[in-house]
Structure 1
Amino acid sequence: MILTRKSVELLAPAGTWDALVADVESGADAVYLGGKHFNMRMHEGDFNFDDAALKKAIDYAHAHDVRLYITLNNLISDEELPALKEYLQYLEEIQPDALLVQDFAVLELVHEMGITIPLHTSVMMNTHNEHAIEKLKEYGITRIVVGREMTLSELALFRARTGIEVEYFMHGDMCISESGQCIHSGVVFGQSGNRGRCLKPCRWAYELIDEKSGKRLDEGGPGPYKLALKDMCMYRAIPELIQAGVFSFKIEGRMRPAPFLRRIVSTYRAAIDAYIADPTGYATDEEGWKQLYENRARDFTTTFAFGQPTAKDIGFDGTREPRFFSEAVKEAGFQDDILKQERPIQKENASHRTLAVRVGTPAAAKAAVDAGADVVYVGGEAFRPQRPWRLTDYAEVLAYAQERNVRVVLNTPRTTMRRECGELEQLFSSIRDWKQQPAGIMVSNLGALKLAQSLTNLPVQADLSFNLFNHLATVFMKDNGITQACASLELSFEQLREIVENAVLPIEVVIHGGYESMICDHNFPAMSLPDYNELNEPELMDRHYALRDKAGELHRIRIDQFGRNHIYFAKDLCLYPYLAKFNGIASYRIEAQDETPAATAMLTKIYRKALDRLAGGDASFDEHEFKTLQENAPRGLGIGTYRFRESRNSI
């Protein structure tokens, strides 16, 4: 690769006009910024650009031979769609150089409206495998902002196999959770991180405890801020970034003041130019490093660029945290005044209401079948000490379920990087030889969808990770062969109702069970415990850990076969008292992946009876059954985001 000035793009953020000018004057090749609506930085009223300022910004950037990209990168709810259409039409008139997008509804509208602006995927789309690229290229995507969990070696292979332009975060504030897979702020506060309003529960103080005994395990440890990832800084790794095939070097910081950005942009500009001019003679400019380090907000890390992060990448003591957006609070129980007032969904019900149960073991699958489930979801992540599903496990459960006229759907991991894709290819290729065939496959991203459709003839449905937030996204899904979609757990009831009443696909809704607030590729016990050594003591990976926040809430951690840490909400979702409002739902789903066979059977029986009473025209609620749910719940129960009128919007 022969390098020129055009081999690399230095991409800088701007939240104000002064920041835009600072970026341009400091040597940015491109600037990204947001309008007053529909972007991932919606907290600060003084930031972002109104419509007139957007046009002025584009004209200013182009006059200085700088590209300008507009962030349209949050999830859109149905009530926002008319305003989104108007906004897209305006953007088409003023012609920025690209739009950064997350929601499938934007892809659908761009196609429908004939928008000619190039599209880049936001990091929030969580694009992390080559198979997803094939699908996204069909929609005019020209650049991918890859997931932060991708190492540079993985990125180089990804780039070589897809040929697509890659944008990579190289400086600034980083999320600890996989992008698009954190719903903590949205569920607890009604302010979704996927909609630009994150209140950063990852920056709270936590204790690491043994979930079973409640014993604190991190006494004398490095500190309480266990999820507080330091800021990315790739200044000392510019050669590695360029040689890995990264085109766009992205600086995070649209809320940063102009002088702060001027210093960062000019420092990276000088270093990139020095490397391009003389790669073999390049050495890090230590004066530039000193400028960055002495003016840093948080301390620095390279996160996943060179491998798995460790304790050195976490700001445990919190002393360099520039701002705490919220404090830990008790999660909602049955504060249901708003939900009680909501009108029921107005959509015709099937004569038999379908109950689906997601399970973690073959024994739990059989228990769900015997207790009245219509569908069981099997496979995907296995939480230690459970072992991953074997081919013999699938065969056993398929035979058992089909004898009892129950459908079995194969679940897949929510994250499918190169390893997971390779394993899925082999699994999907073997299905045609199975004696009993599954009823379908459930996938969590476009890459897994592409694999399932190319290697099997089975129906494919979309899981929670698709972040379904509006009915227009179901058009995109249906056009791409998806047969059923699960609604986001961040939707309020009013927003869910709009989707169900207008969707072109059958909609599944989670009605009970534990659910993840974050999915992280970090090993939190290993980071917090000084003597943690899984090579000497493999049993450490099988222990059930939990995080206890300052409000006393316990967030259990489950470690899957890929080493990912799944952090759960303290309370399980329970919509049993409100089932009569959930009309027209194609599938009522219980999350029982972490439950025993006995608990799975109990949950399935109670909800089976309630749904059957509804189908027969009777009241679903039974006081004794509800009391049984409460008394046998391993954790508290609550209604999550359904206590809010809406997930606060972007208008």
Structure 2
Amino acid sequence: MLNIPELLAPAGNMESLIAAVENGADAVYLGIKDFSARAYAGNFTIEEFREALDFAHLRAVKVYVTLNTLIKDSEMEEALELMYTLDELGTDAIIVQDMGLLELAREKVPSLPIHASTQMTVHNTEAVLALKKSGVKRIVLARELSLEEISRIKSETGVEIEAFVHGALCICYSGQCLMSSMIGGRSGNRGYCAQPCRKQYRFRMDGKEIKTEGSYLLSPKDLNTSEILPELINAGIDSFKIEGRMKRPEYVAGVVRIYRNLIDRFAEDPDNYFVTEEEKENLEQLFNREFTTGYFKGDPAIDLMSRERPHNQGIMVGKVSGYNNKFKRLEITLTRELEVGDGIGFEGSKNSGTIVRGIYIGNRLEKKAGSGEVITINFDQPPKNGTPVYRTLDDSLMKELQASYSSPAPIRKVPVSIDLKAHIGEKLELSIYDNENNTSTIISDYVVQTAQKRPTTEEDVKKQLAKTGNTVFEAQGIEVDMPDDAFIPIKELNNARTEATTELERIRIKKFRRPAHDISSEMKQEKSEETEITDEKEEKMILLSVSVKTVDALASALKSGADLVYIDASLKELQSNDWKFMTESACGKNISLYLHTPVIVKDTEIQDVKEKIKLAKELGFEGIIAANLGVLEIARDSGLKILTDSSVNVFNKHTLQAFTKEGVDTVTLSTEMNLGQIIEITPYGDCEYIVHGQIRIMESEHCLIGGVLGEKDENGFNCGSQCKSGKFEIIDEKGYEFPIRTDSQCRTHIFNSRELCLLEDVPQLIKAGVSRLRIDATNMDDYNVSMVTRAYRANIDAYYTGDTKHIWQGSDISEFHTRGHYHRGVQ
């Protein structure tokens, strides 16, 4: 049987929610102020949310609340109280990123369904199975998966799958972007992304700047799956998600309406699916940076990117054909219709658009003009002749869409059946039934009388009862049990109908409510449990770990004072004699080795990781660094110690405890945590903190280097594998250089412009209770691995011995460095 997916729409505010519901959404997702990954959207207060929830539930629309940010320990109590409230009100699900919040919700609010946010970077079957075991009902998969990969995950797990089908795309895997955070302290993981991916960048190879086609090198096109919707349905996706909580209500109304029509069209006749030209044009008009089907059909390569314009492109309506300096009038030769009130923009110009206030054809002032006509409009800044003109706002379309959610009379109706019983000498009885087994029965005070003159006919009754007016109900069937000589005043029929519909509204809303929580006692219990755990932790000697990629770097780390070395190498490299010799050398010196696994491991790559883990165990490795939830699940069966990587986003003690319960020995704390937060979390388990190295701020499925240097040929797109050699950077508008690397899967890794260095802060970190300090030396040459490792070794030893003569300063090893979030933290 064909599974018709839910249509899930964004709601940044109440207007957008109404727009989504009235235009056919099955569900909406929205944020509560302070706990949403779109903190710049309007979002809802609790009172506004209560109104929104009742509005949606009355119309049989589900509401999911986005609690999809990393939660600080100082916010966890407030977050828990919020979940109690959301549960009581009858929220259909919460969408969660933070593993600590997930565990807290599962334990304290088990009746509240949980969806795993795309911010969790879920991209393989193992991760889905792990979350299923944790009680997650639905997974919002990473946008970088193909339909083939999604279909496999769905068939092997049976979990509800949600996928984005329309709207803006991130160039980075969601949950792995630190660019906004590192540049300006506005964390995407906390809902404050400043969208640095939509900024201009220059591209440099081996010190030489390379001219690129367009300077918006990190800006993807917008997702549009309208043409391939049947393939998405056949892949087993359960929920089609439209992006856009920052978009205006008209956008929500228009996109939801079109996708509603498309889904219904397919459901009615799967063999005759089509998208009309009007639907295509309206999607384009509402918002586009050009369109792509993303990764659903495989790697789109350069076709993913919109490097010319990072903002709404609109639809081309003509070209500039002249300018009258005397009257300040711009001449445009039209290729499409243009109306007064429309917004226009010009190719190559970001901020020179205008609203058309008047259209002149010759000397005549017109309200609109069509294709082929030459018009003039008032405009002060003339673009060059031949410049394409785009309609960025269609005023008529906007007004039509506004009417769909601003009318006092509801458009979306709930079908009901009405039964009237009117026996002479008995009280009037009216029942209304919906299709969800809800019934409202009203027994009026009015006693039915025998007609003295004209009796009330069945037609009279049906006419009055059908007038459901501004209610959400629509009578689809009316049954009347009444003798021919009965008389019922119109007023009594109207009163009974009004009372019954009001009661049915109350019943439909109330059925979603859940039992109230005794918040005060539950919060006391939570604090009591925390007190038990915060007993003073036994002080341990802090360990120094070093991450490396080469045999020579491993050798440098071993001889320079590392206690542990994390090896990021391919299976083939680990099998070589050089690596075997060095790993044996490390084990001989009682220096522990850990296998460093990738952040992204798709299902096709899982077997390779399993074989590497097996080999690592044979070589005497002590542990595994799990950089995603899927590999963490695999690592549990290895018998080796487990360290979670910073990409898993441990941001609070609840997340630390959740992983510890699942067999994790040590966690790497989020690089977005500051010293105060580190001090709060360390009593709850063993923690590692990255103190030195180039911090990865983006992990992208798109090969940026190949996209810039490659070219299209008869076989499609040929990148030329130029990323395999050379040194690459992108440079922002302020001149900061961000190094780029690619891995064996051609994924792009972008690193911060300044090297992290916390050498001078070693004493504070030791006092803070951190178990390990990590040097990320994966991008260092052998000399720097040695120098940096010796520096940190000296400062750690100096702390314990009191020898201050040999302390190194940060300036000794890094001229251009940053302390990251160690002091400032993030919003």
| TM-score, normalising length: structure 1 | 0.89
Distance 1:630 1:525 in 2: 27
Note the 1:113-128 alignment, pairs <5 A. Answer: 113-128=108-123
Q: Which stretch shifts more, 112-121 or 348-357? A: 348-357
> How far does the alpha carbon of each residue in 1:482-515 deviate from its partner, in whole angstroms, 9 at most, with x for none?
0000011111222222222x42x20001111111
SS across alignment from 1:237: helix
Distance 1:470 1:122 in 2: 18
Does the 8 Å contact 1:525/1:532 carry over to 2? no
Shift of 1:311: 2.4
Out of 525, 529, 541, which is 1:352 matched to?
541
Shift of 1:43: 2.1
Does the 8 Å contact 2:594/2:625 carry over to 1? yes
> How far does the alpha carbon of each residue in 1:266-302 deviate from its partner, in whole angstroms, 9 at most, with x for none?
0110011000110012222222111111222422111
Does the 8 Å contact 1:388/1:561 carry over to 2? no
Residues 348, 612 of structure 1: alpha-carbon distance in 2 compared, 3 angstrom cutoff = farther
Shift of 1:351: 5.5
Out of 814, 820, 824, which is 1:630 matched to?
814
Identity level (%): 33
Q: Does 1:647 align with 2:818?
A: no
Q: Does 1:508 align with 2:688?
A: yes
Other-structure match for 2:180: 185
Shift of 1:164: 1.0
Distance 1:390 1:359 in 2: 16
Out of 239, 242, 248, which is 1:248 matched to?
239
Shift of 1:630: 2.8
Distance 1:528 1:539 in 2: 10
Does the 8 Å contact 1:353/1:612 carry over to 2? no
Note the 1:158-557 alignment, pairs <5 A. Answer: 158-210=153-205, 212=206, 214-217=207-210, 219=211, 221-318=212-309, 320-321=311-312, 350=539, 352-379=541-568, 389-390=574-575, 392=577, 394-431=579-616, 434=618, 436-454=619-637, 456-500=638-682, 502-503=683-684, 505-529=685-709, 531=711, 537-557=720-740
Other-structure match for 1:335: none
Other-structure match for 1:343: none
SS across alignment from 2:271: coil
SS across alignment from 2:585: helix
Distance 1:79 1:627 in 2: 34
Shift of 1:398: 2.1
> How far does the alpha carbon of each residue in 1:279-332 deviate from its partner, in whole angstroms, 9 at most, with x for none?
0122222221111112224221111111112323222122635899xxxxxxxx
Kindly provide the amino acid, as one letter, of the partner of residue 813 in structure 2.
L
Does the 8 Å contact 2:705/2:722 carry over to 1? no
Aligned length, in residue pairs: 604
Shift of 1:529: 2.6
Residues 540, 92 of structure 1: alpha-carbon distance in 2 compared, 3 angstrom cutoff = closer
Residues 13, 393 of structure 1: alpha-carbon distance in 2 compared, 3 angstrom cutoff = farther
Does the 8 Å contact 1:381/1:413 carry over to 2? no
Does the 8 Å contact 1:517/1:567 carry over to 2? yes
Distance 1:104 1:310 in 2: 33
Distance 2:763 2:15 in 1: 54
- List gaps (5 residues or longer) in structure 1: 325-345
Distance 2:235 2:711 in 1: 35
Other-structure match for 1:612: 797
SS across alignment from 1:280: helix
Structure number with higher strand proportion: 2
Q: Does 1:144 align with 2:139?
A: yes
Out of 105, 111, 115, which is 2:106 matched to?
111
Does the 8 Å contact 2:550/2:569 carry over to 1? no
Note the 1:19-30 alignment, pairs <5 A. Answer: 19-30=16-27
Distance 2:763 2:537 in 1: 12
Other-structure match for 2:2: 2
Shift of 1:406: 0.6
> How far does the alpha carbon of each residue in 1:372-419 deviate from its partner, in whole angstroms, 9 at most, with x for none?
10000002579xxxx854465553332010111111111111111112
Out of 31, 45, 48, which is 1:50 matched to?
45
Shift of 1:428: 2.8
Residues 319, 139 of structure 1: alpha-carbon distance in 2 compared, 3 angstrom cutoff = closer
The structure with more radius of gyration: 2
Does the 8 Å contact 1:413/1:420 carry over to 2? no
Residues 605, 271 of structure 1: alpha-carbon distance in 2 compared, 3 angstrom cutoff = same
Shift of 1:425: 2.0
SS across alignment from 2:137: strand
The root-mean-square deviation of aligned C-alpha atoms, in Å, is 2.3
Does the 8 Å contact 2:221/2:290 carry over to 1? yes
| TM-score, normalising length: structure 2 | 0.70
> How far does the alpha carbon of each residue in 1:535-566 deviate from its partner, in whole angstroms, 9 at most, with x for none?
68445432221101111111111111111110
Distance 2:199 2:573 in 1: 32
